[in-house]
Structure 1
Amino acid sequence: MQPLLLEHRSASGARFRKSRREIKGLGHRIEQDIQADDLELTAAAPQRSVPSRHGGQTMAARYGLVVLAGFAASFVGLASPARAVWLSDKGAVATLTGPFIMGDDAAFKAFLEKPRPQPIRVLYLSSGGGKVAPAFAIARMVRKAGIATVVDADAAACSSACTFVFVAGVTRHYVNGDHVAEGMSARNGLGFHPVHRDGGRVEGHTFSEKGSDRARAFYAEMGTPRAAELMDKASFNTFYRPNGQTALALRIATSLSAP
C-alpha cells in the first residue's frame, strides 16, 4: 500500500484538505516522508516522474540533521516506515525514488546484494531529499560499487540529500539538464540548498552550520567540491537548480546524455 499524499495547496486545492483528513484518520498507518515542494509540510508517496522504461532517496545522525527546503523534517505523530526509498531494477539499471529515512541504507545494501544475472551499473534518481545519514551511506555504496547515476531533468527532481547520491556516481548523467532554467524557480533537475536541523518548520534560524559544513565536506569527498557553491546560493526555503552547462562546468555532472 502506498503512503498517502498531503499535497500543497497551489497544485491541488480541495484534494489537499481531503488528504489531510485522511491522514488524521489513518494515524500510524501513514508512512512518513520529507518531500520538498513549495512551502508545505508533506507526507507523500514517492515521486512518479521517473521514466518507466528504467524499471519501473554516520556522523550526521548523531546531530539529528536533515536536508530539506521549506518542510519539517518529521511529521509529528506519524510512524516512520522501515523503509521509505523505493527501489526497482531491470537488468543492470535500477531506480531509486522517494525520501531518505533512517534505515534506508540497510535496504539499499540488501538491494545491491540481491542475486541477479548482472550487477547494477546505472541508478536513476528521483527524490526530494530526507535524512543526511542514510543518504551519505547510500552514496558511498554507489561509489564503491562503481555505479553511474542519472537524473533526467525532464522527468524527475533530485533535490537536497538526493544530490549526495548523484555526485557519488562514477559517471554522473544530467540528462536534459540543458532544459533547466537555472536558479530557484525550476521544479525538476538537481536541487541544492543548506542543511537545517531536524524537527519543526524550516526557518532561517533552523540553519545548521555544522550540518552544512558536513555537506560541503561530503561533496569534496566525492570529488565535486564546487557543488557547495550551489548549496550556498539557495535561500533557506528554496532549491538552487543548475542547468546542464553549470553542472558540467562545476564537474557535478560528467555528461548531459544518458549512459
Structure 2
Amino acid sequence: MTKFDEATQAIRVDETTYDVCLDPGYSIGGPLNGGYLMAVLLRAVVDASPHEHPVTTSAQFLRSPAPGPAQVRLEQLKAGRTATMTRATLVQDGTSFIETLVTTATLRDVAPDWMGRPPVAMPPIERCRTLPDPGPESGMTFSAQMEVAYDPPTVGWLDGDPSGSPEVRAYFRLAEPQDPDPYVLAMAVDCLPPVVFSAGARGWAPTVDLTWHLRALPAPGWLTLFGSGRMIGDGWFDEDVEVWDSAGRLVAQSRQLARVGRG
C-alpha cells in the first residue's frame, strides 16, 4: 500500500458507515486539501458500490475538518445495472463537513469515439518551473505529497508579475511513485494554486462547490493540468480544470466555485 492509498483508506464498519483517518500531511496552511478529502470519500463510496469507478462527484464543502478520525456515511439513492448513485457525507464529532453526490459506473479501457485536443501546447517539463518549498512554519504539508512543474507564464505572480488572466498549467504526479488512478485524479483536479493568483489576488481561496467527472482511466506517467477561470466578481470566482494523461487522453474535468482569498 502506498502512502497515498493509506492516507485515503476507508474501513467498513457496516453497510452505510466507514471509518477514516484524515492525514495532516495534506494540509494547506491548516485546512486539508479538498481533492484529498474527496478521494477519502470516494474510497468508501466505491467500496460499497457494485461498480468500480466514480464517474461524477459533486461536493459541497460546508466547513473544514481537522486531521484525525472521522466517518463517511452513505445513503444509496439508486442502484442500476450501469450506474449507482450515492449520497456520501464526511462527519466528524457528529458534525457534517462535506456533502457529496457520487455516481459510480464501470469504465472500459477503450479508445474514445471522438476527443478534442488539449487547450494549449505545454513546454517540455524541463523548461517548467517549480514552486519554492514552503517553510515548516507555514503548515503547507500538502506540497510534499506531489511533484508539480508549472508553465512559467502562469506563475508570474511568484515574482510579483501576475499575467492578469486567471489561468494555471502544470505537469503533476505524486511524490511517491504511483500510477494515477481515479483517487489520484480526485486530488489532481484540486491541487493547483487558485487561478485568481494569476489575476492578482492572493490568500486562501476556500472552495464552496466542486464537481468533477472521471472521463477515462489514466495511463501511467505524468498528468497535465489546465486550469482557467471565466469570471471573478463580488468576492467569488470559478475555476475549470482539465486533466490529460501521458497518452494524450482527457481523463478528468472539474468546475468549482470558490471565494476570492484575502492575503
TM over 0.5: no
- What TM-score results when the alignment is normalised by the length of structure 2? 0.25
Structure with the larger helix share: 1
Bigger proportion of residues as strand: 2
- Determine which structure has more spread, i.e. the larger CA radius of gyration: 2
